Chain A
């Protein structure tokens, strides 16, 4: 499969969302929601193919996301740092980001658009399927003028197994 086709498809998706919704917050929200739908399915593919053992700490999970998952799906390995004493906030610094290969800068009037917000939704959805509630956002974004692109993951709590209603 062509990498260009994947990047172009993502670009077309974001461009269409920008046409459909005026506010940046809406576009970001829908990108996150789409990513969530992908994440809840992608987690099984990840677990089936990578045969990883169960993780017992948030830092193991953050390492797993950066070193195994990102590598498997996007071919990049962000670096992970833990940024608080409670060890539940992590930042992933992306040196390269294939999704923005062809993007120079955000269009005028779209200064708070998080172009790759889909990735945040994917991570959030995947974590929720293994019973971890997390907040995932772009802390810094090269497209917005920052030096690096940084994704912040805050692990909130372990979710209880929900007992769904049976049909």
Chain B
């Protein structure tokens, strides 16, 4: 039972708040000898495993670190190309850490604006007038719930498909936003939310919702 992340999108489609709440993701670090038995390729500026899944290293996992030093995209910390490095037998044995790639904040911003546009398209596609827009997006590994207020702010929660009570969680997040973000006199509307109290109360609300599990929070 988990709530994976929370996004708050403003009227213009810009991301004003983002929280990742899931448990530490699986990472695997292994030492390899030449030649490498995993097929690697560059995808979206990262080096990912294309084929050769084994021992907790799955297809789609990205190279996170080489010999303990974090890589940035497809280059190591000292600027060398990762694939070139790994194709040279002189560098072996090498210890590589693989894991699910984390979204960078730019990627999150882009995804939020794309979702904003899809949301608008969703309400226009409706055969009935005055439709609400996308309320839920369901996949086999997560459900995305969206709540748009009458003022145009969207609260998006990604959660486990079995997690219940997300509707009331979305309303609760709206209340927390109206309390700790808006009532802060130094917070300007539509700007990124950087309020401690908002963070704390949001995390508390997420924990309450998670504890309630598949039955939702009590009455």
Contact = CB atoms under 8 A, between A and B. Distances in A.
Interface of A: 40-41, 43-45, 47-49, 51, 54, 129-131, 161-167
A44 B14 contact: no
Contact of B150 (A49, A130, A161, A163): A130
Contact of A41 (B13, B175, B182): B182
A141 to B, nearest CB: 29
Given A41-B189, A44-B174, A45-B178, A163 B183 contact: no
B151 A161 contact: no
A90 to B, nearest CB: 19
B190 A49 contact: no
Given A49-B175, A51-B171, A164-B190, A44 B11 contact: no
Contacts of A41: 178, 182-183, 189
Interface in B147-187: 149-153, 171, 174-175, 177-179, 182-183
8 contacts: A44-B149, A44-B151, A44-B153, A45-B179, A45-B182, A130-B150, A130-B151, A163-B12
B14 A45 contact: no
Contacts, number: 52
Given A44-B178, A48-B149, A164-B12, 4 more contacts: A44-B174, A47-B149, A165-B12, A167-B14
Contacts of B14: 164, 166-167
B189 A48 contact: no
B12 A166 contact: yes
Q: Which of A45, A162, A163 is the most central at the interface, judged by chain B CB atoms within 10 Å of its CB?
A: A45
Q: Which of B14, B150, B177, B183 is the most central at the interface, judged by chain A CB atoms within 10 Å of its CB?
A: B150
Nearest to B179: A45
Contacts of A162: 11-12
Contact of A48 (B11, B113, B152, B171): B171
A166 B151 contact: no
Nearest to B182: A41
B178 A48 contact: yes
B186 to A, nearest CB: 12
Q: Which 7 A-B pairs have the closest CB atoms?
A: A164-B12, A44-B178, A41-B182, A45-B178, A48-B174, A48-B175, A48-B178
A120 B16 CA distance: 29
Contacts of B190: 164
Given A40-B189, A47-B150, A47-B151, A164 B11 contact: yes
A165 B12 CA distance: 8
